[in-house]
Chains A and B, each alone.
Chain A
Amino acid sequence: MTPAQHSVLVADDDPDIRDLVVFKLEQAGFNVRAVADGNAALEVLKDTTPDLVVLDVMMPGLSGLDVLRQIRAEQRLEPVKVLLLTARARDTDVDDGYNTGADEYVTKPFSPRELLHRVNTLLGRGR
Protein backbone atom coordinates (compact mmCIF):
# COMPACT_ATOMS: atom_id res chain seq x y z
CA MET A 1 0.00 0.00 0.00
CA THR A 2 1.47 3.38 -0.92
CA PRO A 3 1.50 6.06 1.76
CA ALA A 4 -1.01 8.22 -0.14
CA GLN A 5 -3.64 5.54 0.31
CA HIS A 6 -3.58 5.88 4.10
CA SER A 7 -6.21 8.31 5.30
CA VAL A 8 -6.08 10.12 8.63
CA LEU A 9 -8.75 12.12 10.45
CA VAL A 10 -7.43 14.74 12.88
CA ALA A 11 -9.76 16.18 15.55
CA ASP A 12 -8.37 18.99 17.69
CA ASP A 13 -9.92 22.29 18.77
CA ASP A 14 -6.52 24.03 18.84
CA PRO A 15 -5.93 25.39 15.32
CA ASP A 16 -2.14 25.48 15.80
CA ILE A 17 -1.94 21.81 16.76
CA ARG A 18 -4.45 20.85 14.08
CA ASP A 19 -2.56 22.67 11.32
CA LEU A 20 0.76 21.31 12.58
CA VAL A 21 -0.39 17.67 12.60
CA VAL A 22 -2.05 18.05 9.20
CA PHE A 23 1.09 19.67 7.77
CA LYS A 24 3.40 16.99 9.17
CA LEU A 25 1.24 14.08 8.00
CA GLU A 26 0.60 15.59 4.58
CA GLN A 27 4.33 16.10 4.12
CA ALA A 28 4.74 12.39 4.87
CA GLY A 29 2.23 11.52 2.15
CA PHE A 30 -0.93 10.86 4.13
CA ASN A 31 -4.37 11.85 2.99
CA VAL A 32 -5.49 14.05 5.92
CA ARG A 33 -8.82 15.55 6.89
CA ALA A 34 -9.18 17.80 9.96
CA VAL A 35 -12.08 18.86 12.19
CA ALA A 36 -12.31 21.07 15.27
CA ASP A 37 -14.44 19.01 17.69
CA GLY A 38 -15.75 15.58 18.62
CA ASN A 39 -19.18 15.97 17.04
CA ALA A 40 -17.64 16.93 13.70
CA ALA A 41 -15.33 13.91 13.95
CA LEU A 42 -18.31 11.58 14.41
CA GLU A 43 -20.06 13.26 11.45
CA VAL A 44 -17.06 12.48 9.24
CA LEU A 45 -16.91 8.92 10.58
CA LYS A 46 -20.54 8.32 9.55
CA ASP A 47 -19.52 8.35 5.88
CA THR A 48 -15.86 7.40 5.92
CA THR A 49 -13.55 4.85 7.53
CA PRO A 50 -10.10 6.40 7.89
CA ASP A 51 -7.11 4.22 8.68
CA LEU A 52 -6.26 6.36 11.68
CA VAL A 53 -7.94 8.98 13.86
CA VAL A 54 -5.76 11.43 15.79
CA LEU A 55 -7.91 12.69 18.67
CA ASP A 56 -7.44 15.44 21.20
CA VAL A 57 -9.02 14.47 24.53
CA MET A 58 -10.28 17.82 25.80
CA MET A 59 -12.51 19.30 23.11
CA PRO A 60 -15.74 21.32 23.31
CA GLY A 61 -18.86 19.14 23.16
CA LEU A 62 -17.88 15.51 22.86
CA SER A 63 -14.48 14.72 24.36
CA GLY A 64 -11.90 12.62 22.56
CA LEU A 65 -12.63 9.72 24.93
CA ASP A 66 -16.36 9.95 24.10
CA VAL A 67 -15.52 9.80 20.39
CA LEU A 68 -13.18 6.89 21.02
CA ARG A 69 -15.92 4.98 22.90
CA GLN A 70 -18.29 5.45 19.96
CA ILE A 71 -15.63 4.32 17.50
CA ARG A 72 -14.98 1.18 19.52
CA ALA A 73 -18.72 0.50 19.87
CA GLU A 74 -19.26 0.39 16.12
CA GLN A 75 -18.23 -2.77 14.28
CA ARG A 76 -17.69 -0.97 10.95
CA LEU A 77 -14.97 1.14 12.59
CA GLU A 78 -13.22 -1.81 14.22
CA PRO A 79 -10.10 -1.59 11.99
CA VAL A 80 -9.65 2.14 12.67
CA LYS A 81 -6.54 2.87 14.72
CA VAL A 82 -6.84 5.69 17.26
CA LEU A 83 -4.02 7.86 18.56
CA LEU A 84 -4.80 10.20 21.45
CA LEU A 85 -2.85 13.47 21.36
CA THR A 86 -3.47 15.29 24.61
CA ALA A 87 -2.10 17.51 27.35
CA ARG A 88 -3.39 15.06 29.99
CA ALA A 89 -0.16 13.39 30.99
CA ARG A 90 -0.82 11.72 34.36
CA ASP A 91 -0.43 7.95 34.56
CA THR A 92 -4.14 7.57 35.29
CA ASP A 93 -5.00 9.61 32.18
CA VAL A 94 -2.80 7.39 30.04
CA ASP A 95 -4.40 4.28 31.60
CA ASP A 96 -7.87 5.71 30.89
CA GLY A 97 -6.89 6.31 27.27
CA TYR A 98 -5.62 2.79 26.69
CA ASN A 99 -8.47 1.21 28.69
CA THR A 100 -10.99 3.07 26.52
CA GLY A 101 -9.42 1.55 23.43
CA ALA A 102 -6.68 3.88 22.21
CA ASP A 103 -3.86 2.29 20.22
CA GLU A 104 -1.37 5.04 21.02
CA TYR A 105 -1.09 7.90 23.50
CA VAL A 106 1.05 10.99 22.84
CA THR A 107 1.25 13.87 25.32
CA LYS A 108 1.52 17.59 24.52
CA PRO A 109 3.88 19.32 24.11
CA PHE A 110 4.82 16.76 21.50
CA SER A 111 7.59 16.08 19.05
CA PRO A 112 6.13 16.08 15.52
CA ARG A 113 8.82 13.61 14.48
CA GLU A 114 7.87 11.22 17.29
CA LEU A 115 4.20 11.59 16.34
CA LEU A 116 5.01 10.60 12.77
CA HIS A 117 6.99 7.56 13.98
CA ARG A 118 4.03 6.42 16.08
CA VAL A 119 1.62 6.93 13.16
CA ASN A 120 3.92 4.99 10.84
CA THR A 121 4.21 2.16 13.34
CA LEU A 122 0.45 2.01 13.85
CA LEU A 123 -0.19 1.86 10.13
CA GLY A 124 2.61 -0.61 9.49
CA ARG A 125 4.66 1.82 7.41
CA GLY A 126 8.44 1.56 7.36
CA ARG A 127 10.41 4.56 8.54
Chain B
Amino acid sequence: MVSPTLVAPQLLTVVLWVLVWAAIFLLAVTLGSRAGRLWRERRERQVLDELRPAMLAVASGEDDDSSALGRLTTVTHRRVRVVDRTVSTMLSKVKGEPARALARVLRAHGRADWALRGLASKRSIRRAYSAWILGLMRERESGSKIVPLLQDRSMDVVVAAARALTLLGDSKAARPVMRAVAPRRRPRGLPSWVAVESLCAFDDAVAPVVAEATAHPQPSVRHVAATVIGTRPLPRAAPVVRKRLAVEEDPRTLAALVEALGEIGGSFDLPMLSRFAQHSDETVALAAVDALEEIGLPSSVDALAPLVADTRPRLSERAAVALAELGPRGRERLRTFADAPGPAELPATYALQLVAMRSATRGLD
Protein backbone atom coordinates (compact mmCIF):
# COMPACT_ATOMS: atom_id res chain seq x y z
CA MET B 1 0.00 0.00 0.00
CA VAL B 2 1.39 3.40 -1.05
CA SER B 3 1.02 6.25 1.48
CA PRO B 4 -0.43 9.50 0.04
CA THR B 5 1.91 12.54 -0.40
CA LEU B 6 0.45 15.49 1.53
CA VAL B 7 2.94 18.14 0.38
CA ALA B 8 4.64 18.32 -2.96
CA PRO B 9 8.42 17.73 -2.69
CA GLN B 10 9.10 20.85 -4.80
CA LEU B 11 7.27 22.99 -2.27
CA LEU B 12 9.37 21.58 0.55
CA THR B 13 12.52 22.42 -1.38
CA VAL B 14 11.32 25.98 -1.98
CA VAL B 15 10.46 26.43 1.72
CA LEU B 16 13.86 25.08 2.71
CA TRP B 17 15.63 27.53 0.41
CA VAL B 18 13.53 30.41 1.70
CA LEU B 19 14.50 29.48 5.27
CA VAL B 20 18.19 29.18 4.33
CA TRP B 21 18.17 32.60 2.64
CA ALA B 22 16.25 34.18 5.52
CA ALA B 23 18.85 32.83 7.97
CA ILE B 24 21.69 34.14 5.79
CA PHE B 25 19.94 37.51 5.52
CA LEU B 26 19.41 37.75 9.31
CA LEU B 27 23.02 36.76 9.93
CA ALA B 28 24.21 39.39 7.48
CA VAL B 29 22.00 42.07 9.10
CA THR B 30 23.25 41.14 12.58
CA LEU B 31 26.89 41.13 11.52
CA GLY B 32 26.40 44.33 9.53
CA SER B 33 24.82 46.23 12.42
CA ARG B 34 27.48 44.96 14.81
CA ALA B 35 30.26 45.96 12.43
CA GLY B 36 28.57 49.33 11.95
CA ARG B 37 28.35 49.87 15.70
CA LEU B 38 31.99 48.89 16.19
CA TRP B 39 33.01 51.20 13.35
CA ARG B 40 31.02 54.09 14.84
CA GLU B 41 32.46 53.44 18.31
CA ARG B 42 35.98 53.33 16.90
CA ARG B 43 35.39 56.53 15.01
CA GLU B 44 33.95 58.21 18.13
CA ARG B 45 36.96 57.03 20.15
CA GLN B 46 39.26 58.53 17.52
CA VAL B 47 37.40 61.84 17.69
CA LEU B 48 37.46 61.75 21.49
CA ASP B 49 41.15 60.85 21.66
CA GLU B 50 41.89 63.74 19.36
CA LEU B 51 39.75 66.25 21.26
CA ARG B 52 40.23 64.89 24.81
CA PRO B 53 43.10 67.26 25.71
CA ALA B 54 41.01 70.26 24.63
CA MET B 55 38.03 69.01 26.67
CA LEU B 56 40.19 68.44 29.74
CA ALA B 57 41.79 71.88 29.35
CA VAL B 58 38.36 73.55 29.25
CA ALA B 59 36.87 71.38 32.03
CA SER B 60 39.82 71.95 34.34
CA GLY B 61 39.97 75.73 33.83
CA GLU B 62 43.43 75.48 32.24
CA ASP B 63 42.41 77.07 28.95
CA ASP B 64 43.82 80.54 29.60
CA ASP B 65 44.02 81.62 25.94
CA SER B 66 40.64 80.00 25.06
CA SER B 67 42.33 78.03 22.27
CA ALA B 68 40.83 74.75 23.50
CA LEU B 69 37.40 76.34 23.75
CA GLY B 70 37.80 77.63 20.19
CA ARG B 71 38.71 74.16 18.99
CA LEU B 72 35.65 72.59 20.58
CA THR B 73 33.19 75.22 19.40
CA THR B 74 34.34 74.98 15.78
CA VAL B 75 34.29 71.20 15.29
CA THR B 76 32.71 70.01 12.07
CA HIS B 77 29.16 68.75 11.84
CA ARG B 78 29.96 65.04 12.23
CA ARG B 79 31.93 65.59 15.42
CA VAL B 80 29.41 67.88 17.09
CA ARG B 81 27.33 65.02 18.47
CA VAL B 82 30.32 63.21 19.94
CA VAL B 83 31.69 66.39 21.52
CA ASP B 84 28.30 67.44 22.91
CA ARG B 85 27.70 64.07 24.52
CA THR B 86 31.05 64.12 26.31
CA VAL B 87 30.81 67.80 27.21
CA SER B 88 27.32 67.22 28.73
CA THR B 89 28.70 64.39 30.84
CA MET B 90 31.60 66.54 32.05
CA LEU B 91 29.29 69.47 32.70
CA SER B 92 27.52 67.47 35.39
CA LYS B 93 30.82 66.89 37.21
CA VAL B 94 32.38 70.34 37.45
CA LYS B 95 31.23 73.74 38.63
CA GLY B 96 32.43 77.32 38.43
CA GLU B 97 34.10 78.87 35.40
CA PRO B 98 34.92 75.49 33.74
CA ALA B 99 31.19 74.63 33.80
CA ARG B 100 30.36 77.96 32.18
CA ALA B 101 32.99 77.35 29.49
CA LEU B 102 31.61 73.86 28.76
CA ALA B 103 28.11 75.34 28.49
CA ARG B 104 29.48 77.79 25.90
CA VAL B 105 30.56 74.82 23.77
CA LEU B 106 27.02 73.41 23.81
CA ARG B 107 25.51 76.83 23.12
CA ALA B 108 27.82 77.31 20.13
CA HIS B 109 26.52 74.02 18.73
CA GLY B 110 22.90 75.20 19.05
CA ARG B 111 22.18 72.77 21.87
CA ALA B 112 20.16 75.33 23.88
CA ASP B 113 17.69 75.90 21.03
CA TRP B 114 17.55 72.14 20.40
CA ALA B 115 16.70 71.54 24.07
CA LEU B 116 14.09 74.31 24.18
CA ARG B 117 12.33 72.70 21.19
CA GLY B 118 12.66 69.32 22.90
CA LEU B 119 10.63 70.42 25.92
CA ALA B 120 7.52 70.07 23.76
CA SER B 121 8.52 66.75 22.17
CA LYS B 122 6.06 63.84 22.08
CA ARG B 123 8.80 61.51 23.37
CA SER B 124 9.16 61.61 27.14
CA ILE B 125 12.88 60.73 26.96
CA ARG B 126 13.49 63.77 24.75
CA ARG B 127 11.51 66.06 27.08
CA ALA B 128 13.42 64.79 30.12
CA TYR B 129 16.83 65.04 28.42
CA SER B 130 16.08 68.52 27.08
CA ALA B 131 15.12 69.80 30.54
CA TRP B 132 18.26 68.25 32.03
CA ILE B 133 20.52 69.80 29.36
CA LEU B 134 19.02 73.25 29.93
CA GLY B 135 19.62 72.82 33.65
CA LEU B 136 23.20 71.73 33.12
CA MET B 137 23.79 74.72 30.84
CA ARG B 138 22.32 76.99 33.58
CA GLU B 139 19.95 78.54 31.03
CA ARG B 140 18.11 80.58 33.67
CA GLU B 141 15.65 82.13 31.24
CA SER B 142 14.43 78.64 30.31
CA GLY B 143 13.15 78.07 33.88
CA SER B 144 9.63 79.24 33.09
CA LYS B 145 9.50 76.79 30.17
CA ILE B 146 10.70 73.87 32.31
CA VAL B 147 8.21 74.51 35.15
CA PRO B 148 5.15 73.08 33.27
CA LEU B 149 7.01 69.75 32.98
CA LEU B 150 6.62 69.36 36.76
CA GLN B 151 3.04 68.30 35.94
CA ASP B 152 4.10 65.97 33.09
CA ARG B 153 2.41 62.57 32.81
CA SER B 154 5.82 60.85 32.89
CA MET B 155 7.53 60.69 36.30
CA ASP B 156 10.96 60.61 34.58
CA VAL B 157 10.20 63.99 33.02
CA VAL B 158 8.93 65.41 36.33
CA VAL B 159 12.11 64.35 38.13
CA ALA B 160 14.36 65.63 35.32
CA ALA B 161 12.51 68.97 35.34
CA ALA B 162 12.86 69.31 39.12
CA ARG B 163 16.56 68.50 38.98
CA ALA B 164 17.07 70.97 36.11
CA LEU B 165 15.31 73.67 38.15
CA THR B 166 17.59 72.76 41.06
CA LEU B 167 20.58 73.53 38.89
CA LEU B 168 19.02 76.83 37.78
CA GLY B 169 18.42 77.74 41.45
CA ASP B 170 15.57 80.20 40.76
CA SER B 171 13.18 80.43 43.73
CA LYS B 172 10.29 81.30 41.36
CA ALA B 173 10.04 77.54 40.83
CA ALA B 174 9.56 76.85 44.56
CA ARG B 175 5.76 76.85 44.54
CA PRO B 176 5.45 74.61 41.44
CA VAL B 177 8.00 72.19 42.94
CA MET B 178 5.98 72.03 46.16
CA ARG B 179 2.78 71.47 44.11
CA ALA B 180 4.47 68.61 42.25
CA VAL B 181 4.94 66.72 45.53
CA ALA B 182 1.17 66.19 45.79
CA PRO B 183 -0.28 66.59 42.29
CA ARG B 184 -4.04 66.49 41.77
CA ARG B 185 -4.08 64.58 38.51
CA ARG B 186 -1.38 61.95 39.11
CA PRO B 187 -1.36 59.19 41.71
CA ARG B 188 2.35 59.67 42.51
CA GLY B 189 4.04 62.93 43.30
CA LEU B 190 7.61 64.15 42.93
CA PRO B 191 9.80 62.09 45.32
CA SER B 192 10.33 64.09 48.49
CA TRP B 193 14.15 63.90 48.38
CA VAL B 194 14.17 65.49 44.91
CA ALA B 195 11.84 68.26 46.11
CA VAL B 196 13.99 68.86 49.21
CA GLU B 197 17.14 69.01 47.07
CA SER B 198 15.50 71.62 44.82
CA LEU B 199 14.09 73.76 47.61
CA CYS B 200 17.43 73.74 49.41
CA ALA B 201 19.21 74.91 46.24
CA PHE B 202 16.91 77.88 45.58
CA ASP B 203 17.67 81.36 46.93
CA ASP B 204 16.25 82.69 50.22
CA ALA B 205 13.02 83.92 48.64
CA VAL B 206 11.87 80.32 49.01
CA ALA B 207 11.24 80.80 52.78
CA PRO B 208 7.59 82.05 52.68
CA VAL B 209 6.58 79.22 50.33
CA VAL B 210 8.14 76.62 52.64
CA ALA B 211 6.59 78.16 55.77
CA GLU B 212 3.16 78.16 54.11
CA ALA B 213 3.58 74.51 53.08
CA THR B 214 3.91 73.39 56.72
CA ALA B 215 0.10 73.77 56.91
CA HIS B 216 -0.67 71.99 53.61
CA PRO B 217 -3.46 69.36 53.80
CA GLN B 218 -1.15 66.66 52.34
CA PRO B 219 1.35 65.11 54.83
CA SER B 220 3.92 64.55 52.04
CA VAL B 221 4.05 68.31 51.37
CA ARG B 222 4.28 69.15 55.08
CA HIS B 223 7.09 66.61 55.44
CA VAL B 224 9.05 68.20 52.60
CA ALA B 225 8.53 71.67 54.10
CA ALA B 226 9.71 70.54 57.56
CA THR B 227 12.77 68.81 56.09
CA VAL B 228 13.72 71.89 54.08
CA ILE B 229 13.41 74.13 57.16
CA GLY B 230 15.84 71.90 59.05
CA THR B 231 18.20 71.20 56.16
CA ARG B 232 18.74 74.70 54.73
CA PRO B 233 18.21 75.77 57.65
CA LEU B 234 15.56 78.54 57.84
CA PRO B 235 15.83 80.10 61.36
CA ARG B 236 12.98 82.56 60.71
CA ALA B 237 10.60 79.62 60.35
CA ALA B 238 11.02 78.67 64.03
CA PRO B 239 7.65 80.17 65.15
CA VAL B 240 5.86 78.31 62.33
CA VAL B 241 7.54 75.04 63.34
CA ARG B 242 6.57 75.49 67.01
CA LYS B 243 2.97 76.23 66.00
CA ARG B 244 2.78 73.21 63.73
CA LEU B 245 4.32 70.87 66.31
CA ALA B 246 1.31 71.49 68.54
CA VAL B 247 -1.16 70.10 65.98
CA GLU B 248 0.81 67.78 63.66
CA GLU B 249 -0.44 64.18 63.62
CA ASP B 250 1.63 62.54 60.86
CA PRO B 251 4.60 60.84 62.64
CA ARG B 252 7.03 61.28 59.72
CA THR B 253 6.28 65.00 59.51
CA LEU B 254 6.39 65.30 63.27
CA ALA B 255 9.89 63.77 63.32
CA ALA B 256 11.03 66.16 60.57
CA LEU B 257 9.61 69.15 62.48
CA VAL B 258 11.35 68.05 65.67
CA GLU B 259 14.64 67.66 63.78
CA ALA B 260 14.14 71.10 62.24
CA LEU B 261 13.63 72.62 65.68
CA GLY B 262 16.92 71.06 66.74
CA GLU B 263 18.59 72.99 63.92
CA ILE B 264 16.89 76.35 64.35
CA GLY B 265 15.64 76.34 67.95
CA GLY B 266 17.23 77.41 71.23
CA SER B 267 17.01 77.00 75.00
CA PHE B 268 13.36 78.07 74.82
CA ASP B 269 12.59 74.80 72.98
CA LEU B 270 14.26 72.34 75.35
CA PRO B 271 11.10 71.57 77.40
CA MET B 272 9.09 70.91 74.23
CA LEU B 273 11.82 68.68 72.78
CA SER B 274 12.07 66.79 76.10
CA ARG B 275 8.35 66.07 75.85
CA PHE B 276 8.75 64.76 72.29
CA ALA B 277 11.58 62.51 73.50
CA GLN B 278 8.89 60.65 75.48
CA HIS B 279 6.68 60.29 72.36
CA SER B 280 5.17 56.84 71.81
CA ASP B 281 6.43 56.79 68.18
CA GLU B 282 10.12 55.89 68.42
CA THR B 283 11.08 57.80 65.25
CA VAL B 284 9.73 60.99 66.80
CA ALA B 285 11.42 60.26 70.13
CA LEU B 286 14.78 59.57 68.42
CA ALA B 287 14.46 62.78 66.40
CA ALA B 288 13.90 64.67 69.65
CA VAL B 289 17.07 63.15 71.17
CA ASP B 290 19.03 64.21 68.08
CA ALA B 291 17.51 67.68 68.29
CA LEU B 292 18.48 68.04 71.96
CA GLU B 293 22.05 67.14 71.04
CA GLU B 294 22.02 69.44 68.00
CA ILE B 295 20.94 72.45 70.09
CA GLY B 296 24.06 71.71 72.10
CA LEU B 297 23.40 73.97 75.09
CA PRO B 298 24.64 73.14 78.62
CA SER B 299 20.98 72.70 79.62
CA SER B 300 20.66 69.99 76.93
CA VAL B 301 22.58 67.72 79.33
CA ASP B 302 19.81 67.98 81.93
CA ALA B 303 17.18 67.33 79.27
CA LEU B 304 18.97 64.24 77.89
CA ALA B 305 20.10 62.65 81.16
CA PRO B 306 16.72 61.11 82.18
CA LEU B 307 16.41 59.53 78.72
CA VAL B 308 19.48 57.31 79.28
CA ALA B 309 17.27 55.22 81.58
CA ASP B 310 14.46 54.91 78.98
CA THR B 311 13.12 51.37 78.52
CA ARG B 312 13.55 51.57 74.73
CA PRO B 313 17.13 50.37 74.04
CA ARG B 314 17.70 52.41 70.87
CA LEU B 315 16.48 55.56 72.55
CA SER B 316 18.54 55.12 75.70
CA GLU B 317 21.69 54.36 73.66
CA ARG B 318 21.14 57.37 71.40
CA ALA B 319 20.59 59.62 74.43
CA ALA B 320 23.78 58.29 76.05
CA VAL B 321 25.84 58.88 72.88
CA ALA B 322 24.33 62.36 72.56
CA LEU B 323 25.36 63.13 76.15
CA ALA B 324 28.88 61.93 75.41
CA GLU B 325 29.05 64.22 72.37
CA LEU B 326 27.97 67.22 74.47
CA GLY B 327 31.37 67.44 76.14
CA PRO B 328 32.89 67.01 79.63
CA ARG B 329 29.67 67.79 81.51
CA GLY B 330 27.71 65.17 79.58
CA ARG B 331 30.46 62.57 80.02
CA GLU B 332 30.63 63.30 83.74
CA ARG B 333 26.92 62.55 83.99
CA LEU B 334 27.45 59.30 82.02
CA ARG B 335 30.21 58.19 84.42
CA THR B 336 27.79 58.65 87.31
CA PHE B 337 25.26 56.42 85.50
CA ALA B 338 27.91 53.84 84.58
CA ASP B 339 29.01 53.51 88.22
CA ALA B 340 25.52 52.95 89.61
CA PRO B 341 23.54 49.77 88.89
CA GLY B 342 20.30 50.53 87.08
CA PRO B 343 18.71 50.86 83.64
CA ALA B 344 21.12 53.67 82.67
CA GLU B 345 24.28 51.68 83.48
CA LEU B 346 24.56 49.71 80.23
CA PRO B 347 23.87 52.51 77.71
CA ALA B 348 26.15 54.87 79.66
CA THR B 349 29.02 52.34 79.63
CA TYR B 350 28.50 51.73 75.91
CA ALA B 351 28.58 55.47 75.10
CA LEU B 352 31.72 56.05 77.16
CA GLN B 353 33.49 53.15 75.42
CA LEU B 354 32.40 54.49 72.03
CA VAL B 355 33.79 57.94 72.83
CA ALA B 356 37.07 56.41 74.02
CA MET B 357 37.40 54.41 70.77
CA ARG B 358 36.62 57.45 68.62
CA SER B 359 39.14 59.58 70.50
CA ALA B 360 41.80 56.91 70.04
CA THR B 361 41.10 56.79 66.30
CA ARG B 362 41.34 60.53 66.04
CA GLY B 363 44.55 60.51 68.03
CA LEU B 364 43.11 62.98 70.55
CA ASP B 365 43.71 60.98 73.72
Main secondary structure of the interface of B (DSSP, over half): helix
In contact, B99 and A101 (Cβ under 8 angstroms): no
CB-defined interface of A104-120 with B at 8 Å, one 1/0 digit per residue?
00001111111000000
Q: Which residues in chain B, 342-360, are within 8 Å of chain A measured between CB atoms?
A: 358
Q: Which residues in chain B, 53-75, are within 8 Å of chain A measured between CB atoms?
A: 56-57, 59-62
In contact, B59 and A113 (Cβ under 8 angstroms): no
Q: In the complex, which residues of chain A have a beta carbon less than 8 angstroms from the beta carbon of B95?
A: 109-111
Q: Which residues in chain B, 64-104, are within 8 Å of chain A measured between CB atoms?
A: 86, 89-90, 92-99
**Is A6 positioned at the interface, with any CB of B under 8 Å from its CB?**
no
Q: In the complex, which residues of chain B have a beta carbon less than 8 angstroms from the beta carbon of A14?
A: 93
Known: A99-B358, A101-B361. A17 touches B93 (CB 8 A): yes
**Is B52 positioned at the interface, with any CB of A under 8 Å from its CB?**
yes
In contact, B56 and A20 (Cβ under 8 angstroms): yes
Could you tell me the distance between the alpha carbons of A99 and B90 in the complex, rounded to whole angstroms? 30
**Is A24 positioned at the interface, with any CB of B under 8 Å from its CB?**
yes
Main secondary structure of the interface of A (DSSP, over half): helix
Q: In the complex, which residues of chain B have a beta carbon less than 8 angstroms from the beta carbon of A112?
A: 59-62, 94, 96, 98
Taking CB as reference atom, which chain A residue is nearest B92?
A: A109
Q: In the complex, which residues of chain A have a beta carbon less than 8 angstroms from the beta carbon of B89?
A: 16
**Is B362 positioned at the interface, with any CB of A under 8 Å from its CB?**
yes
Q: In the complex, which residues of chain B have a beta carbon less than 8 angstroms from the beta carbon of A111?
A: 61, 94-98
Taking CB as reference atom, which chain B residue is nearest A109?
A: B95
In contact, A109 and B99 (Cβ under 8 angstroms): yes
Could you tell me the distance between the alpha carbons of A17 and B60 in the complex, rounded to whole angstroms? 10
Known: A109-B99, A112-B98. A20 touches B62 (CB 8 A): no
Q: In the complex, which residues of chain B have a beta carbon less than 8 angstroms from the beta carbon of A101?
A: 361-362
CB-defined interface of B85-129 with A at 8 Å, one 1/0 digit per residue?
010011011111111000000000000000000000000000000
Could you tell me the distance between the alpha carbons of A101 and B90 in the complex, rounded to whole angstroms? 29
Could you tell me the distance between the alpha carbons of A17 and B96 in the complex, rounded to whole angstroms? 15
Known: A19-B56, A20-B56. A109 touches B62 (CB 8 A): no
CB-defined interface of A1-31 with B at 8 Å, one 1/0 digit per residue?
0000000000000101101100110010000
Taking CB as reference atom, which chain A residue is nearest B197?
A: A89
Q: In the complex, which residues of chain B have a beta carbon less than 8 angstroms from the beta carbon of A72?
A: 361
The residue from B92, B94, B99 contacting A20, defined by CB atoms under 8 A apart: B94
In contact, B60 and A20 (Cβ under 8 angstroms): yes
Could you tell me the distance between the alpha carbons of A14 and B60 in the complex, rounded to whole angstroms? 15
A-B contact pairs, 10 of them (CB 8 A): A16-B89, A20-B59, A20-B60, A27-B62, A109-B93, A111-B94, A111-B97, A111-B98, A112-B96, A113-B61
List 9 A-B pairs, minimum CB-CB distance, nearest first: A111-B96, A24-B60, A23-B56, A112-B60, A109-B95, A27-B62, A23-B60, A113-B61, A109-B93
A residues with CB within 8 A of B: 14, 16-17, 19-20, 23-24, 27, 72, 99, 101, 108-114
Beyond A23-B56, A24-B62, A111-B94: 19 further Cβ-contacts under 8 Å? Answer: A16-B89, A16-B93, A19-B56, A20-B56, A20-B59, A20-B60, A20-B90, A23-B57, A23-B62, A27-B62, A99-B361, A99-B362, A109-B99, A110-B93, A111-B61, A111-B95, A112-B60, A112-B98, A114-B96
